[in-house]
């Protein structure tokens, strides 16, 4: 098991969340690049995935052939990948004083399997608190986008044009994706200290500048990030 929350942690833990097609992956890369330009050490990872084991679990989770997968199975597999990521990558990086950017984290589990998938939030929360030794991000950037527009963006970007099918989660009905968006917004309203909601329908550069504004604030509060041991 990973160590108890925050023990020995000196870095900064950021997560990017949002409905499918919100542009998290693009924003995570832009942010990494900008932080690295300041000379900071940044580790970019993703969920599900980020470790060899996690990437194998990802293949199972997103395989469109596994339509019969239950929500309980989803919760446990996503959390299994997350437990491995926290222990193998996130905690060690935070202890070294790095900035971690995770493209999705446990809020996705609460929203996709809870708000949209129908499982009790309390159960998902308990499993995740155990799997991550209660490690929450310092800040979560929620890229907010209309569910239908997000899926349309993916369709435009994806191969196959109008025949685009998406992965197993992207294939869920529109109603599911609407619940995802509402779920994220609800989580954000419950924890305004951690969540920073960003309208994500604009051009990537515009969205990035909004994220960067918040980042500058955070860096100002964490001067230790600039004073790491060699």
Burial category of 189 from C-beta neighbours within 10 Å (exposed 0-12, middle 13-18, buried 19 and up): exposed
User: Which residue, 169 or 198, has its beta carbon nearer to ligand TYD?
Assistant: 169
Q: Which of 46, 181, 208, 210 binds ligand TYD (CB under 6 A)?
A: 46
User: Which residue, 2 or 54, has its beta carbon nearer to ligand TYD?
Assistant: 54
Residues making up the chain, counted from first to last: 230
Part in contact with ligand TYD (CB under 6 A); list of ranges 46-54, 155-163, 183-191, 201-209: 46-54
Q: First CA to last CA across the chain, in angstroms? A: 29
CB of 219 to ligand TYD, least distance (A): 26
Question: Is residue 100 at the binding interface for ligand TYD, with CB under 6 A as the rule?
Answer: no
Burial 115-148 (b: 16+ CB within 10 A, else e): bbbebeeeebeebbeebbbebbbbbbbbbbbbbe
SS3 13: strand
Tell me the torsion sign for CA atoms 198, 57, 178, 111.
negative
Query: Cα–Cα distance between 203 and 23 in angstroms, integer?
Result: 10
Part in contact with ligand TYD (CB under 6 A); list of ranges 63-71, 90-98, 107-115, 142-150: 107-115
CB of 196 to ligand TYD, least distance (A): 18
Q: Edge to edge, what strands does the sheet with 42-46 contain?
A: 42-46, 99-103, 12-17, 139-144, 195-199
Question: Is residue 47 at the binding interface for ligand TYD, with CB under 6 A as the rule?
Answer: yes
The tokens for 170 are 């992207």
Question: Is residue 27 at the binding interface for ligand TYD, with CB under 6 A as the rule?
Answer: no
Question: Is residue 146 at the binding interface for ligand TYD, with CB under 6 A as the rule?
Answer: no
The tokens for 161 are 């044009």
The tokens for 33 are 């690049």
Count of residues that interact with ligand TYD, criterion CB under 6 A: 16
The tokens for 71 are 């929500």
User: Which residue, 95 or 178, has its beta carbon nearer to ligand TYD?
Assistant: 178
Question: Is residue 98 at the binding interface for ligand TYD, with CB under 6 A as the rule?
Answer: no
The DSSP letter of residue 104 is S
Q: Which of residues 162-201 bind ligand TYD (CB under 6 A)?
A: 167, 169-170
Q: Which of 2, 11, 23, 48 binds ligand TYD (CB under 6 A)?
A: 48
CB of 104 to ligand TYD, least distance (A): 4
User: Which residue, 71 or 219, has its beta carbon nearer to ligand TYD?
Assistant: 71
Give the binding site for ligand TYD (CB under 6 A): 20, 25, 46-48, 62, 78, 103-104, 108-109, 112-113, 167, 169-170
């Amino acid at each position: 098991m990973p160590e108890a929350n925050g023990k020995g942690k000196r870095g900064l833990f950021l997560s990017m969340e949002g409905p499918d097609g919100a542009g998290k992956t693009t924003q995570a890369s832009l942010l990494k690049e900008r932080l690295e330009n300041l000379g900071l050490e940044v580790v970019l990872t993703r969920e599900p995935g980020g470790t060899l084991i996690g990437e194998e679990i990802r293949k199972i989770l997103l395989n469109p052939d596994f339509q019969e997968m239950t929500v309980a199975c989803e919760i446990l597999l996503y959390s299994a990948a997350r437990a491995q990521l926290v222990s193998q990558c996130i905690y060690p990086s935070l202890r070294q004083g790095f900035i971690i950017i995770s493209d999705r984290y446990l809020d996705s589990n609460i929203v996709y399997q809870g708000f949209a998938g129908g499982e009790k939030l309390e159960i998902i929360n308990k499993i995740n608190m155990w799997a991550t030794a209660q490690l929450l991000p310092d800040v979560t950037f929620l890229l907010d986008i209309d569910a239908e527009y997000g899926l349309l963006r993916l369709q435009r970007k994806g191969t196959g044009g109008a025949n685009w099918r998406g992965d197993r989660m992207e294939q869920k009905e529109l109603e599911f994706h609407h619940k995802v968006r509402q779920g994220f917004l609800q989580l954000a309203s419950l924890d305004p200290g951690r969540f920073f909601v960003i309208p994500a329908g604009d051009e990537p550069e515009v969205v990035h500048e909004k994220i960067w504004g918040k980042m500058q604030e955070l860096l100002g509060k964490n001067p230790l990030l600039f004073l790491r041991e060699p």
